[in-house]
Amino acid sequence: MSNPTRITHLIAGSPWEGTAERTSEVFNPATGEVTGVLDLASADLVDEVVTGAKQAWQDSWGSLSLAKRTQVLFKFRELLHRDRERIAALITAEHGKVLSDALGEVMRGLEVAEFACGIPQLIKGGYTENASTNVDVYSMRQSLGVVAVISPFNFPAMVPLWFVPVAIACGNAVVIKPSEKDPSATIAVAELWTEAGLPDGVMNVVNGDKEAVDALLGHPDIKAVSFVGSTPIAKYVYETATANGKRVQALGGAKNHMLVLPDADLDLAADAAINAGFGSAGERCMAISALVAVDSIADELVEKIKDRMGKLRTGDGTRGSDMGPLVTGAHRDKVTSYLDSGVADGASLVVDGREGTYDADGDGFFLAPTLFDQVRPGMSVYDDEIFGPVLSVVRVRTYDEGLELINANPYGNGTAIFTNDGGAARRFQDEVEVGMVGINVPIPVPVSYYSFGGWKNSLFGDTHAHGTEGVHFYTRGKVVTSRWLDPSHGGLNLGFPQND
Ligand code: NAD
């Protein structure tokens, strides 16, 4: 495309009208073309936006009744549903994932908007009448002020939706910084809040890179930070923002294992390994990247997966392909480099993605699905989060050996067990040190009224995303002990008040 579109910030409901000192390019990964030029925010601009958001919170949203807040949330949910296909198309155009997958992402995000519509029930406090004689005690949860959301490229609609509806429902103002690789879907969803009737300034999008992130992490009026991205940046964000006195939930990278026991249905397991390994070109934090085959089934399972891989179509996400490109050329090259290192480390390359063909025009960032067998810890294909369409089969002799492997991994985002043995599955759910567990479900992303989050290097902070944990993250608790005027309470007594 000869004329890339300008993509800018969304501040107080309107596109920014200033001139950016720095910009970055946004690509269509299926064609390799530059389709957008993105304004990158300076620290000064971030400061201005946060100040405006704080004002909006103080003047309107923070003190608006729950009834009025809920009306905006219901309207937002309707608008998101109305525009789901338009937003999915924006995701495909900048991320590359196929349209059906992009639509699935929007619909999973929509579920959180629906959850947030129940805020009157979610935010309800407790009340104890006559806790002491004529003394009542009750609790409430109040908004924090301005909160920041910093999101990754791989779910430009769903990950922001994990946080923003809950934060807004709780009465906060939000400044979100989307990934600079595919910001348009995030901006399009943010625009719907204005149409839904949210007061200007409560929802803002600043685009940017490290400068904008650091400005948010250091800003005194940012009270909480929700981050999702790679583990090194998650750790940096957690350490920096907590040192600045903020509450932080920083969700990091992953290496998800699928344990297949000998009694499992191998056809179902092979289907699941393909879907969870290569969906979204492996660019999912819940993708299966290590398939752990127990005992004698490995040969048969590898054959079944290989057969199915032969039927997958890789190409432009708008053309009915199964799998799209990687997000950038640099990322595709990095993922490809693991194919060389896997072979050099002694893994067996069963299907080589470099030999794939693609249904696309132009020079897109494609790499077809790859399958490695005989992978072991210590090989970079096993140790690193590759974040691409590369599935590794690790062979173990027993359930215990498989469990030990999974628990020794530094990540703990998602995992799955495939078996028909209920006792084994129950043992696994108890013993595995991972935050989200699937039993014959390869991508166990929790529904919106449960909370999403991993363990170990997959999450820094105490609170997971959405569900009741999200409501707690975006509110502060307060307990009131009250007694109404009663002459019998007069008189001086400096002793510690006792309940009577
Ligand atoms: P990333 O860490 O490169 O970027 C995430 C965000 O951090 C972006 O907004 C980016 O602009 C910002 N950022 C990048 N470098 C920075 C720096 N030096 N200082 C400050 N901010 C910086 O991640 P990504 O490549 O966009 O996303 C993929 C990663 O996200 C994978 O590791 C994946 O596992 C992880 N992820 C995790 C979850 C989860 O729930 N645990 C969900 C989705 C993605």
| Segment 146-171 mean pLDDT | 98
The tens digit of pLDDT for each residue in 413-437 reads 999 999 999 999 999 999 999 999 9
* 151 CB near ligand 1 (under 6 Å): yes
Q: Which two tokens stand for residue 51?
A: 């100040």
Q: Which two tokens stand for residue 325?
A: 């490109």
Q: Which residues pair with 392 in a beta bridge?
A: 290, 372
Which fold, 256-439? Answer: Aldehyde Dehydrogenase; Chain A, domain 2 (3.40.309)
- At 405, give phi and psi (nearest 5°): -60, -45
| Segment 46-54 mean pLDDT | 98
Give the class (CATH, top level) of 5-252+458-480: alpha beta
151 alpha carbon to ligand 1 midpoint, in Å?
A: 7
Closest by Cα among 183, 172, 195, 119 to 150: 183
The ranges assigned to domains in the chain are: 5-252+458-480, 256-439
What is the percent of the chain with per-residue pLDDT over 90, rounded to a whole number?
A: 96
Same fold? 5-252+458-480, 256-439: no
Of all atoms in ligand 1, which is nearest to the CA of residue 209? 11
Nearest Cα residue to atom 7 of ligand 1: 229
225 alpha carbon to ligand 1 midpoint, in Å?
A: 14
Nearest Cα residue to atom 19 of ligand 1: 210
User: Which SS3 state, helix, strand or coil, does residue 276 take?
Assistant: helix
* 466 CB near ligand 1 (under 6 Å): no
**pTM for the whole structure:** 0.97
Q: Check whether 386 has a pLDDT greater than 70.
A: yes
* 385 CB near ligand 1 (under 6 Å): yes
| Segment 100-117 mean pLDDT | 98
How far CA 103 is from CA of 80, 81, 99, 186, in Å, comes to: 11, 10, 6, 14
Pairing of the two strands 358-359 and 348-351: unpaired
Average pLDDT value for the chain: 97
Active site residues: 285
- At 407, give phi and psi (nearest 5°): -70, -20
Report the residue among 209, 284, 385 best suited for mutation to probe ligand 1: largest number of ligand atoms under 8 A from its CB.
209
| Segment 44-53 mean pLDDT | 98
Of all atoms in ligand 1, which is nearest to the CA of residue 385? 32
Residues with Cβ within 8 Å of 171's Cβ and at least 6 positions away in sequence, in order, are 57, 61, 62, 64, 69, 142, 143, 475
The tens digit of pLDDT for each residue in 186-223 reads 999 999 999 999 999 999 999 999 999 999 999 999 99
- CA–CA separation, 291 and 271 (whole Å): 12
- CA–CA separation, 188 and 82 (whole Å): 12
- CA–CA separation, 319 and 119 (whole Å): 40
Q: Which two tokens stand for residue 297?
A: 């089934």
212 alpha carbon to ligand 1 midpoint, in Å?
A: 14
- Please give the torsion angle defined by the CA atoms of residues 442, 443, 448 and 449, in that order, rounded to the nearest 10 degrees: 40
Tell me, what's the pLDDT at 492?
A: 86
286 alpha carbon to ligand 1 midpoint, in Å?
A: 14
